[in-house]
Structure 1
Amino acid sequence: MQDTYILSFNSPKQRGKNGGYLPSPRKVSNKVLAADPITPSEMKGNLLLFAFGQFIDHDLTFTPVGIGEDGNPLKCCGKDGSDSECFPIKIDPGDPRFSSNCMEFTRSVPVPYNDGCSIGYREQMNRVSSFIDGGMIYGDSILFNENLRGTLGCLRVSRGNLLPAGGMCHLNETGDFCQLAGDERVNEAPPLGCFQVVWVRLHNIITPKIRYYSKMLSQNVYLETKKIVGALLQQVTYGEYLSLILSKKTRKSLDLDLKPWGFWKKYDRNVNPTVKNVVATSALRYGHSQIPKHLGLKTKQFAVDKLFKTEDVLMNPHIVVTKNGENLPGLTQFLLETPAKKVDRQIEDGVRNELFRDANGTAFDLAALNIQRGRDHGLPGYNAWRKWCKLPEARTFSCLYSHDPDVRKRLENTYDHPDDIDVFVGGVTETPRDGALVGPLFECLLGHQFRDLKQGDRYWYETIGVEGFKYKQLQEIRKVSLSKILCETLGLKKIQKNAFLVPDYKTNPIVSCSSLPFIDFSKWAPQRSYW
């Protein structure tokens, strides 16, 4: 398959430093990323941390892949390589999980170079806006946005205060329906669908308060509510999420921490906030190492009620939509109290075998897909990005100082040269340091990306000016935590103070929801003073 490709502006990355072909992504997945029978847990972070990572990723990136003329997915296995949009993954004989010799893979849609007026290197598109602005809730197009809007400034909901019906998914239970959201990937996994419901409900909780106090027209009520929801997304991401992903040192050096008071005045019109290819294609996918083997529901007494194999509930919204959403509190409680896996080389076999299927029912290995996607996008290797981050490069496998000895040996037995290591593989297998959840390379790439997203956002919620909030309004927004948002939208009575950490009676106690502050919307009443 690979021999049919020729070096050109359009070809994917296929050869290593010494000129030979890179190992098959499936081979790398088997030799480096296969999980041991017992995978270690992250003792602080819970599964809600993992779920939020996917949710916020869908606000930032969506790279479409090629489809056939009939609108259906391309079938690339068995072709002779004449289709330039195909880049199938080779499966070696004797593979422990796959019986076929090929895994389907379609290349990402290219952007016309120079508006199609000249030939240039293939580049990929991001179909959504590169901002934390709630695009996965509201949509990133006028058509999507209008289809989701209800009346009086609210968003449309269905019975049970759930998302409206629509979208693509697998249904196998009577009464279930596919969910429609601002992002078409809403049905990928139950935790993602749950978060989508939470934030739509939050919008509809805020809307009547803004309408009552501000006396705005419905169109302006909708826009003001959307602005508040976007602010809360930014606040949760930078104030709670990133504080667990990145070390304190990195956050301080890149000015990622939020201000407890006052306005933030460092917007820079010269900063490009676009999500970088390496971040969208590799660094933001670190969470694939954390995909749990099981998801479940907990009762009000905090006992596990049901467990589901994760691979069995993907693209199936049954857990979220059945019985008017009665499972949502139990699913959320399970996510709140279950430790997440560490970010390491071990990716569960459940997402690396033939049983793991995409929205079209095609079997695939998620780790192998990530590797192939990086090669499809022509990403430089692990060492090149270490150099960009001013981290030591490895000239030999023994010099991979951010990896433990077992991982070094696995990489040496798989790649011909350290320069050949795919950036996703090298990054996800690093050992974290300084209290970060990810290793040094991904910490660098993610840190710089979130810095650019903040500094390059004219509508950043802490900004002074007509784009921002009045100071008293900003102080009200600063009161709100993700724990309070979950309480307000799911009817919870108790929750831990930090929603992203497992409960601990000393460091993260469970408290009454009524003790957590929410917004005083009277600050949106008409007033002359900017303060």
Structure 2
Amino acid sequence: MHSQATTKTIALACGALGLSCLLFGCGGSDLANAAAALDGSTAAAATETIAARGQQPPPPPGPGPGPGPGTGPGAFEARQIDGTANHNGDLGSAGTQLLRRVAAAYTDGISSPAGANRPSAREVSNAVVAQTGEMADPSGRTAFVWAWGQFVDHDIDLTPEGGVEDFPIAIPTGDPYFDPTGSGTVVMSLSRSVYDAATGLAAGNPRQQLNQITAFLDGSQVYGSDQERALALRTLSDGMLATSAGDLPPFNTVGLPNASAGDPSSFFLCGDIRANENIALTSLHTLFLREHNRKAAEIKAANPGLSDEEIYQRARKHVGALIQVITYQEFLPALLGDHPLPDYRGYQPNVNPQIANTFSTAAYRLGHSQVGTTVLRLGPDGNPISQGNLAIKDAFFQPQLLVNEGGIDPLLKGLAATTQQPTDAMVVDDLRNFLFGPPGSGGLDLASLNMQRGRDHGLGSYNQVRAAYGRPPARNFNEITSDAALQAKLASVYSNVNQVDAWVGLLSEDHAPGAAVGPTLKTILVDQFTRMRDGDRFFYRNDPALRDQLQELEATHLADVIARNTTVRGLQANVFRGGRAQTGPRPAPRVDRRGGMPRVCF
């Protein structure tokens, strides 16, 4: 490790945003500080907003005991906004630990990062993960897979950086992007994640990271995981959520924590702090905000005597159920194959719904390999809008593009038309060598950050993960992949198969039949989404208040939600399948001339 005096650090001017959560699979959402932990000033800002409206904040909904919400058919009970009063011991509520499905593998058995004997994460990235050019998913999965995957990810996990423990990535001497002068002194900055202070004290009590939001698929990315944020998002009239011009999300004029850089009031405020990360994600936030308000108006018209709170909670329950239906009926089958999960048998109080560290920090970062270099923005005729398509690296932290360049409709139409990249161990150059200016001026490698974050969390190696999920360890690289070229790449940096980082190994596997992922990765995803479903007392099929709506809910596709909340027409019935490969020249990158580091960052 070089001293500060002799080491050049690649750092990003990202405000509260850290480095590895721009896209589906970010899991921990590496924030530069614990922005999700609301402090007194945040609560005060929300309270002042409510007071300015001349209204009293509604009381939180009361919990109901028993195997399902309420006490009988049609009984109504709302979820607590922070996920408490759902599962035994409040498992899965905001601020609880990530779950260890694989034993911690810290170098000292307590808290020192794993992988001390592994090569630099950037060295592995250069040798194994580099991709040039575009490829297309062979089964025609669309860009909605990675976009919806990220939307779901921001509903179920957020692990900020602590900001006090540096864990930089060594850059190989002469790296053409990050050390073009061959100084040998460059590192990429990373801060270790926040953790439970009662852990990491002894070998029998290793460090455990925290999930700052609810682990349930409950629409928290729309509504928030704390009361202050939830209230700030509401109009407190007729059950509606607040909007800005163009029926877009409200701007963050109340100063709540947000993963953004620059003036907070120029970025949207949504239920999750990462809503501005890319405009595809922001479009989905906007879509479900509109769906909430559409449903609230429908409920109000049918039940004029209901209070604001009653309308809000019923519309919120509807949106949460829709997100579950789309995830389990469309997204997961597109990713994992038909009928990927065991049959649902109702709420299981002994099933732990918490997010597994292996899932959030390695497995669910698979979306980084699915992203292409271009974001299509298509008009009603299927051709690019007048402002053109976007380079992926110009799509981050740019809410003004939704305000000034056509809103969400061209983006949603473009996602449905785009064939995603194959799910594999390769990441496009835009995400692996993203620079802020000329070579050597600073940037990031998303693949390196994924590996380094896994080491920070004490994740076991690929073989340790494989064994923990019931598969025999690989004895050679050819038992990970049948691709001879990939075998050679792995062998060029890892001295043996037991060194392979979990994220790299999981994405290197040959795909399981009918799936976009390999067998170990599929097992991890099936385990997590099954536990989140079966350990959720409010899962839509277990909720008496939704019993008479099941047929309508389960007949609803994401394409239907888009059609009733936008002007987009003519999409395929299942927008997760049937895209087309990106063709033609890439859009020219936009130049940020605001001075210093760009405000878009990973």
Q: What TM-score does the superposition give when structure 1 sets the normalisation length?
A: 0.82
- Give the letter for the 1:309 counterpart: A
Contact 1:170/1:316 (8 A) holds in 2? no
Which residue does 1:269 correspond to in 2?
Answer: 349
1:247 & 1:270 partners in 2: Cα distance? 27
Q: Which whole-Å deviations, capped at 9, do the CAs of 1:176-216 have from their partners, x for residues lacking one?
A: 93111011111111100000000000000000111222342
Q: Which of residues 494, 498, 503 is equivalent to 2:574?
A: 498
Which residue does 2:197 correspond to in 1?
Answer: 112
Task: Say if 2:274 is the partner of 1:205.
Answer: no
After superposition, residues 23-422 of structure 1 pair within 5 angstroms as: 23-67=119-163, 85-99=165-179, 101-113=186-198, 120-150=205-235, 151-166=237-252, 167-169=258-260, 177-214=266-303, 215-248=305-338, 250-251=340-341, 254-255=342-343, 265-305=345-385, 306-322=388-404, 326-355=406-435, 363-400=443-480, 402-422=481-501
1:345 & 1:36 partners in 2: Cα distance? 13
Q: Which of residues 480, 504, 508 is equivalent to 2:556?
A: 480
- Give the letter for the 2:552 counterpart: E
1:10 & 1:229 partners in 2: Cα distance? 40
- Give the letter for the 1:209 counterpart: E
After superposition, residues 419-434 of structure 1 pair within 5 angstroms as: 419-434=498-513
- Give the letter for the 1:500 counterpart: F
Cα distance, 1:2–1:374 mapped onto 2, change above 3 Å: farther
1:117 & 1:433 partners in 2: Cα distance? 39
Could you tell me how far 1:247 is from its partner in structure 2? Answer: 2.7
Q: Which whole-Å deviations, capped at 9, do the CAs of 1:246-272 have from their partners, x for residues lacking one?
A: 133643xx23xxxxxxxx642110000
The sequence identity of aligned pairs, in percent, is 32
Q: How many residues in Structure 1 have an aligned counterpart in Structure 2?
A: 462
2:471 & 2:337 partners in 1: Cα distance? 16
Contact 1:415/1:421 (8 A) holds in 2? yes
Cα distance, 1:90–1:118 mapped onto 2, change above 3 Å: closer
1:66 & 1:170 partners in 2: Cα distance? 18
Q: What TM-score does the superposition give when structure 2 sets the normalisation length?
A: 0.73
Which residue does 1:18 correspond to in 2?
Answer: none
- Give the letter for the 1:182 counterpart: G
2:514 & 2:178 partners in 1: Cα distance? 38
Pairwise CA RMSD: 2.6
Q: Match of 2:453, SS?
A: helix
Cα distance, 1:48–1:162 mapped onto 2, change above 3 Å: same
Q: Which whole-Å deviations, capped at 9, do the CAs of 1:111-138 have from their partners, x for residues lacking one?
A: 1226999993111000011110000100
2:483 & 2:473 partners in 1: Cα distance? 16
Cα distance, 1:213–1:428 mapped onto 2, change above 3 Å: same
- Give the letter for the 1:303 counterpart: N
Which residue does 1:526 correspond to in 2?
Answer: none
1:223 & 1:271 partners in 2: Cα distance? 26
Larger helix share, 1 or 2: 1
Could you tell me how far 1:332 is from its partner in structure 2? Answer: 1.2
Q: Which whole-Å deviations, capped at 9, do the CAs of 1:147-170 have from their partners, x for residues lacking one?
A: 101121010101111001124535
Could you tell me how far 1:2 is from its partner in structure 2? Answer: 9.0
- Give the letter for the 2:381 counterpart: Q
Could you tell me how far 1:429 is from its partner in structure 2? Answer: 1.7
Contact 1:403/1:429 (8 A) holds in 2? no
Contact 1:113/1:119 (8 A) holds in 2? no
1:489 & 1:31 partners in 2: Cα distance? 45
Which consecutive residues of structure 2, in runs of 5 or more, have no partner in the other structure? 5-105, 180-184, 253-257, 581-602
1:249 & 1:459 partners in 2: Cα distance? 22
Q: Match of 1:371, SS?
A: helix
Task: Say if 2:525 is the partner of 1:446.
Answer: yes
Cα distance, 1:387–1:426 mapped onto 2, change above 3 Å: same
Q: Match of 2:389, SS?
A: strand
Contact 1:36/1:346 (8 A) holds in 2? no
Which consecutive residues of structure 1, in runs of 5 or more, have no partner in the other structure? 16-20, 69-84, 256-263, 505-531
- Give the letter for the 2:123 counterpart: K
- Give the letter for the 2:260 counterpart: C
Q: Match of 1:67, SS?
A: strand
Could you tell me how far 1:500 is from its partner in structure 2? Answer: 1.1
Could you tell me how far 1:487 is from its partner in structure 2? Answer: 0.6
Q: Match of 1:44, SS?
A: coil
Q: Structure 1 stretch 28-37 or stretch 191-200: which is displaced more? A: 28-37
Q: Match of 1:66, SS?
A: strand
